[in-house]
Structure 1
C-alpha cells in the first residue's frame, strides 16, 4: 500500500507539472546543479508566493480544464506558487529551470507526507523480532488461548444462571452467644419500682440474624437503585424486661416474643426495607439524591457516628449504635421519603420524613383511648410522623460534624405503643420505658436537637460523641372527647449523650477496638414537670404530689388504666461498653463485647453486666 501511495504521488506530481509545462528547444544548454540551486533560491526569495487555494489566483478560470489539476496541486500537495499579484500566468512559457524547481518543491512535500505516514510502521527487524517471540512463547500462547476459551464458556454458564440481569444479591449472617446478669442477691426493678427479675437468674442464649439484599441498579437512570431487604432473626437478647424498663436490647434482635418460633432457632422472614433511590440531575450535576418507598429508615441517612453506626460490626447494644432520641423514637422502617443535597465534598444536607402508620386508612368513629387510629388520623400525614433535617460538615478528612433537628409526633391512636419516647422503649435504659396515659393524652410532640462528632486524631486513634436534647409536649383531648376525666397538657425535657474512643486497624487492617460511655434517655426536670388542667387552665405546679399530674400523664401498666404512679427515679443510669472487632477475612469478623449498666432504669440499685460474642459473615 505504501508503494502505491508513493507511486501515485510521484505520478500525480509529474503529470500536473506537465500540464503547465511548455516545450523548449533542444539546443538549449543543459544546466548545471549550481544553476538549479540558483533557480530554487529564486523561488524562495519572494518572486513567487505560496497560495493555499486556487481561488486566490485571479487569472484562473474555474471553468477551465486545468482548474482541477491546479486545485489538486495546491490543496493536496501544497507546492504551487503564484505571483505576488495573485496571478498564475498559466499561458506564460515554462523554462526547464522553472519546471525543475517546481518539481523539486512538490517532491519534497510528497516525501514529507510519506515519512509522516510511515514513521510508525513496523520495520523488517520489528517483524522478525515478533516472529521470534511467537516461536519462543507458542506454548504459553496456546495455554492462554485455552484459558480464554474456558473463561468464555464459564461466563456464558454464569449468565444463564443469573436470577436477574440487572440485580445483585448480597447478604449478612450473624451468630452470637449472649448473656447478662447481676449480683445473685439483687432484685432488678424498672422505673416504676416493679420487680423485673433476680440478678442471678439469667440464662445464656444463642442469637442469629439473616439478611438478604436485592439491589437492582440503573433501572431508570445511571446510578439509581431499587433495594429490597429480607430480614429474619431468632433469639431473645432482653432478660430484665418489663413494661417500664428493659436492658440489653441488641441492635440485630427485635422483639422475639412477637415472632412465632423465634426462640427455638426458626423465625419468620419479612421484607423490612423497600425503597427506590435515584440521583436528580439539577443544575447540571447529580449531587441531589431522592429516596422514596414503603419501608425506609432514618438511621440509614441521619444520626450516625462512624464508629458506632453498624450494630453488626460495631457495638451491638442498640443505645450505642442508634441515638435514643434523635433516631429511636421512630426508628423502624416506615413509608416515607428523603432528599440528600451534596453542596460540596465538605457539606451535605439531608431531609427525612416518615409516617409510622403511613399505610393505614384509619377506622371510622374510633373510640378515644382505644389505640385505634380514627379515619383521617393516620396515613402519610396523620398519626405518628417524623420530620428531620441534618447538616453534615467535613472541614477536613479527619473531622465529621453533624447537626440535626427532628420534629417527631406520637399519636395515642395507632402503633405508637403508649410510650412517651416511642420505639426507644424497646431498647430501654433510663426513662425510655415510661408509659403515658392515652385516656388523657392524645399525642406527644418531640422537638429534638442533636450534634455528633467523629474525629480521627491521628492514624489509628479516634474520638467520637453525640449529644441530644428533647422537649416533649403533651396535648390532651378536648373535654367532650375525654374518657378519663379532665385532660392535661404540658412538657418535659430530656437528654442523652455518649462519648467514646476508637482504635481503628489495631493489630491489623479492618480491626477495631472501641470504648464508650453512654447516658440513656434521662428526664432533666428533676421530677417537677409543669402541666396544665386543660378544662380550667389552672397550673399543676407539683405533679408529684398532685394526683391530677402524673396520674393524668403517666400510667403504670399498658392497658390505658387511669391509675398511674410517679416513676421511682432516684438515680441516673449510665452504660459503659467495650468491644474489639477482629477481622478474620474479608467475609468474617469476630467481636467479643462487654457492657456495664450502672443504676439501671434510673433507679439506685445493683448494676447489670452484659456479655456478647458475635460472628458476622458477609457475602
Structure 2
C-alpha cells in the first residue's frame, strides 16, 4: 500500500470539514439533512492537528510570558522553532503553574491583558492540556507505586573532619603550683567516617570509625570544666566509635538500637540543636547539652513516639557492661531516660527530662566533688535526675534558650544512706545568619554541675560558684566547609574562688563530605 504523507491526510480532513460545513449551511435553507453531531465533534479540526510555528500568535504569546515571568525552564528555548501541540502544551502548563505560584506568594492581581492571553491559550489548547494532566497524574501514580514497592539496599560513606588550633591561659593548675603555659598552641584533629546503610528505605544502619588526638584539657588545667566539646585523646588510633540501627514502626514511632557508643542524650531530641553538635555547635562540653543527660553510655535501646506535630515522648536505656557475661545488660553502671518534648507554637519548644542511673552520674563537666560526692567510699550510688530546657525564637534571627538540671544521688551501701544534691543551669543565645546565610553566633552563660547539699558532710559541698562564659561564631563558608572560632572562660574553677580564671580559645575547622 503506497505511503501517504501526513500533510496530505490533514488536507483531506480539512476538505472533508469544508464539505460537511457546506452541507450543514445548505440544510439550513433547503431540505433538512440529519447530521450526527457526536461523530462530527470527533473529527479534529485543522488547528488541532497543525504544529505551532515560530510566527504563530500562540508561541509569540508564550515567549512574551516567559520574558516577563521566566516561567519556562532554562533548558527550553522557545526561539525560532516549530513545536507540536503537545510539546507546546507541556511548556504552557509549566508556565501556568509558575505564574499561579507567583500570584499566590505575592497576593498581586494579574494584569487584564495577560489574563486574557492566558485564557485564550487555555481555550485553544484545552484538549492537549487535559491529556497532558492525565498523563502526568498517571506517571506520578506509577512513581509513587514504585517508591513503595521497590527499594534497593545501599551504603553511603559520609565523613566529618575537624582541625582545631587551641590555646589556654590562666594561673596555676588546680591543686598545684604549676603555671599554665599560655604561649603554647595545640593543633589537633578528629576524623569520623560513617557507613550508612538502609535495607527498606525506612531504616538506617550506621557504623562509624573515629580517630582523635584532641586533648582533654582537664589533664593540664586540673578541672573537667575546661574540656572541649570534640575532644578524645586516643593518639589517632582508629576505632569503631558507634554502631547503631534505627527503624520506624509506622509514621510516628522510631526504635533505636545502639551496639557501641550509645548515650542517653542520643536517645532524646534537643530543643537547642544549634549548640548540641560537636562539629558545628558549642566549642565546650558544658555548652553542648544539659550535663544530666551525659550520665551513662554503651549499649542501648531507645524509642521515640510523636503523638502529634507538637508532642514527643522519648525513652532510652544504656548499659556499660552489657557484653560482660559476668554482669550482663542490667548490671550497673547503667542509666535510663524519659523525656517529654513539647512545641506549643512554631517559635517555642520545651522539654522535661527524668533520668535514673546507677553508679553512672558523672557528667564529665562539673567539679570533682560533683562526680565523687562520697569520697570513693560508696559502691552502690543511685541517682534521680530532673531537667528542663526551653527555646524561644524571638524572631527569625534571634533564639533564646535556657536549661536547668538537678541530680539527687544516694549511697545505698553507706550508713544512714547519705545523699548529695548537684545542680546546674545555663542560658543560651543564638543569632542566626550573621554575616552569611547559614552562619550563626552562639553565647552560653551557666553554672557547671555543683554540689549544693551533701548529708555525707559539709566538707564535700562546693563552697563557691563557678561560671562558664562562652562565645563562638560558626561561619558556614560552603556546604562542606565551616570555621568556628570561639572562646570560653571559667571563673572560680572547681567552684573555688581561690583558683585563678581559666581562658580557653580555639578555632575549629570542619570539613564534611
Q: What TM-score does the superposition give when structure 1 sets the normalisation length?
A: 0.59
Structure 1 position 224 matched with structure 2 position 189: no
Q: Which residue of 1 aligns with 2:455?
A: 530
Change (3 A) 1:207 1:125: closer
Bigger-Rg structure (1/2): 1
Kept in 2, the 8 Å contact 1:355–1:385? The answer is: yes
CA distance in 2, matches of 1:500, 1:125: 65
In structure 1, C-alpha distance between the alignment counterparts of 2:418 and 2:156, rounded to whole Å: 51
Among 212, 218, 238, the alignment partner of 2:217 is 238
Cα displacement (A) at 1:123: 2.2
- Name the SS for the 1:570 alignment partner: coil
Q: 238, 244, 251: which one pairs with 1:275? A: 244
Residues 294-330 of structure 1: CA deviation (Å, up to 9, x unaligned): 12333233263223111211211101103222x1222
Structure 1, gaps ≥5 residues long: 11-31, 38-99, 139-163, 363-377, 411-415, 478-486, 532-542, 545-565
1:170-319 → structure 2 map (5 Å cutoff): 170-183=158-171, 187-189=172-174, 194-195=175-176, 197-200=178-181, 203-217=184-198, 219=199, 221-239=200-218, 241=220, 245-254=223-232, 256=233, 259=234, 262=235, 267-281=236-250, 286-295=251-260, 296-302=262-268, 304=270, 305-319=272-286
Report how far residue 128 of structure 1 moved. 9.1
CA RMSD of aligned residues (A): 3.3
Post-superposition shift, 1:293? 2.9
**SS of the counterpart of 2:39?**
helix
The 1:355–1:111 alpha-carbon spacing in structure 2 relative to 1, beyond 3 Å, is: same
Give the 3-state SS of the residue equivalent to 1:441 in structure 2.
Answer: coil
Segment drifting more, 202-211 vs 269-278: 202-211
Mark the CA change 1:465 to 1:108 in structure 2 (over 3 Å): closer, same or farther.
same
State yes or no: 1:123 paired with 2:87: no
Cα deviation for residue 599 of structure 1 reads 0.5
After superposition, the Cα gap between the structure-2 partners of 1:120 and 1:215, relative to the gap in structure 1 and judged at 3 Å, is: farther
Mapping 1:8-27, distance limit 5 Å? none
Q: Report the 3-state secondary structure (helix = DSSP H, G, I; strand = E; otherwise coil) of the residue aligned with 1:126.
A: coil
- Name the SS of the counterpart of 1:319 in structure 2: helix
Alpha-carbon distance between aligned partners in 2 of 1:134 and 1:464, rounded to the nearest angstrom: 53
- What is the Cα deviation at residue 126 of structure 1? 3.5
Give per-residue Cα distances to partners, 1:255-296, cap 9 Å, x unaligned. x2xx3xx1xxxx111111111111102xxxx11111113123
Q: 1:320 aligns with which of 287, 293, 315?
A: 287
Instruction: Tell me: CA distance 1:202–1:383, structure 2 relative to 1, closer, same or farther (3 Å).
Output: farther
Of 333, 338, 354, the residue aligned with 1:384 is: 333
Structure with a larger share of its residues in helix? 2
Q: For the residues of structure 2 that align with 1:352 and 1:489, how far apart are their CA atoms?
A: 27
The question of whether the paired residues in 2 share the 8 Å contact of 1:399 and 1:454 is answered with: yes
Tell me the TM-score normalized by structure 2: 0.71
Q: Deviations over 1:411-437 (max 9, x none)?
A: xxxxx5xxxx32x23x34474443645
Indicate which of 474, 481, 503 corresponds to 1:609.
503
SS in 2 for 1:523: strand
Instruction: Please report how far the alpha carbon of residue 168 of structure 1 lies from its aligned counterpart in structure 2 after TM superposition.
Output: 1.0
Distance 1:123 1:344, change over 3 A: same
Q: 1:174 to 1:396 in 2, by over 3 A?
A: same
Residues 210-609 of structure 1 aligned to structure 2 (within 5 Å):
210-217=191-198, 219=199, 221-239=200-218, 241=220, 245-254=223-232, 256=233, 259=234, 262=235, 267-281=236-250, 286-295=251-260, 296-302=262-268, 304=270, 305-325=272-292, 327-330=293-296, 332=297, 334-362=298-326, 378-410=327-359, 421-422=361-362, 424-425=363-364, 427-429=365-367, 431-434=369-372, 436=374, 440-476=377-413, 487=415, 489-525=417-453, 529-530=454-455, 543-544=457-458, 566-567=459-460, 569-604=462-497, 605-609=499-503
Q: Number of aligned residue pairs: give it.
A: 403
Kept after mapping to 1: 8 A contact 2:369/2:461:
no
Q: 5+ unaligned residues in a row in structure 2: which ranges?
A: 17-26, 60-76, 83-151
Partner SS for 1:524 = strand
Q: SS of 2:274's equivalent?
A: coil
What residue in structure 1 maps to residue 145 of structure 2?
Answer: none
